[in-house]
Amino acid sequence: MINVVFLLLIFFLMTAQITPPEPFDVTPPGSTSDAPADAPTTLFVSANGTLAFHEVKGDAVFAALADLDKSAPLQIRADATLKAVDLARLLPKLAAIGITQLALVTEPQTGGAP
Amino acid sequence: MFAFTPPRARRKPSLTPMIDVVFLLLVFFMLAARFGQDMALPLSTAGGGDVAWNGAPRLITVQPDTLSLNGAPVTPQTLTEALPALMPTPEAPVLLRPGVMTDLARLVAVIDALRAAGFTHLIVVE
């Protein structure tokens, strides 16, 4: 029985993906915000401004995002070294396809003066 | 007195396999879990379009090392002191315009400082 359980465990380890892997390495900025990030869908933004959502990358994400349920919040997982202007350009595009509830994913951090 | 079957001693199950499985489960969840709960910072999108701007202009330009309010250079201290005079209501929106060289960490730090000072309706514009 132990052998079978062990085999099952290895099988699930190999096949299951608990969280979908990130399309690229993203380090969110630190923040003192205390709201947990619990939005079901995540839009990834890399340090050089590349967008990724599930399997699609680049400007095709807007078409994929437009099919989403607009009542659910969307969280943006952007790299800390992303130019803030790129984020500022992204927000009106998201608003144009009807996404109004946005949250920026941050890492918890204590203190920190601007 | 009848003795149909002699009373059997209860078999003590070995604990070692159970400990093995529990250990394996522990390793599995250690590998699968994503550590460190991420936090979220709510953002407002510009371009709602149907709400008229109320009161004096409140545009904060965020440069990598400096801040300016409506074009005049300010420090974080004078910014939080000068803003309430421009706000018609405490929930009035404040525009944040990042400079070309500003990175997201700097913008988030400024947003944090403003939220800590009580300004919660922040709109990032280009």
Domains, chain B, in order of start with CATH, read: 59-124 (3.30.420.270)
How many whole angstroms separate alpha carbon A93 and alpha carbon B96? 17
Q: What dihedral do alpha carbons B20, B21, B26, B29 form, nearest 10°?
A: 150
How many whole angstroms separate alpha carbon B45 and alpha carbon B21? 49
Amino acid at B112: D
Three-state secondary structure call for residue A60: helix
Cβ distance A102 to B42 less than 8 Å, yes or no, reads: yes
Listed by number, the residues of chain B in 23-42 with a beta carbon closer than 8 Å to a beta carbon of chain A are 24-25, 28, 31-34, 36-42
A and B: number of Cβ contacts within 8 A: 156
B-chain CB neighbours of A13 within 8 Å are: 28, 31
Return the biggest CA–CA distance within chain B: 105
The complex scores an ipTM of 0.71
Residue of B nearest to A30 (CA): B105
Q: Which of B31, B40, B76 lies nearest to residue A33, judging by beta carbons?
A: B40
Do B105 and B116 contact (CB within 8 A), yes or no? no
Q: Is B109 on the interface with A (CB under 8 A)?
A: yes
What share of chain B in percent tops pLDDT 90? 0
Mutate to test the interface with B, among A31, A42, A89, A109 (most CBs of B within 10 A): A31
Q: For residue A21, what pLDDT is reported?
A: 65
Q: Is B93 on the interface with A (CB under 8 A)?
A: no
How many whole angstroms separate alpha carbon A66 and alpha carbon B17? 51
Q: For residue B51, what pLDDT is reported?
A: 64
Spell out the domains of chain A, with CATH numbers in brackets: 20-108 (3.30.420.270)
pLDDT in tens, B44-84: 766 555 566 777 778 888 888 888 888 888 888 888 888 88
Chain centroid to Cα B75, Å, comes to 24
Q: Is B21 on the interface with A (CB under 8 A)?
A: yes
DSSP H or E run through B73: strand B72-74
DSSP H or E run through A45: strand A41-45
Q: For residue B49, what pLDDT is reported?
A: 57
Do A84 and B104 contact (CB within 8 A), yes or no? yes
Q: pLDDT band at residue A114, thresholds of 50, 70 and 90?
A: very low
Nearest to A86 by CA among B101, B120, B77: B101
A-chain CB neighbours of B124 within 8 Å are: 84, 87-88, 91
Q: For residue B35, what pLDDT is reported?
A: 60
Q: For residue A112, what pLDDT is reported?
A: 43
Nearest to A102 by CA among B48, B12, B106: B48
pLDDT in tens, A34-93: 777 777 788 888 888 788 887 778 777 788 878 777 777 788 888 888 888 888 888 888
- Residue B13 backbone zone (phi > 0: left; psi -120 to 50: alpha; other: beta): beta
3-state helix, strand, coil in chain A (%, to 5): 30, 25, 45
Do A87 and B108 contact (CB within 8 A), yes or no? no
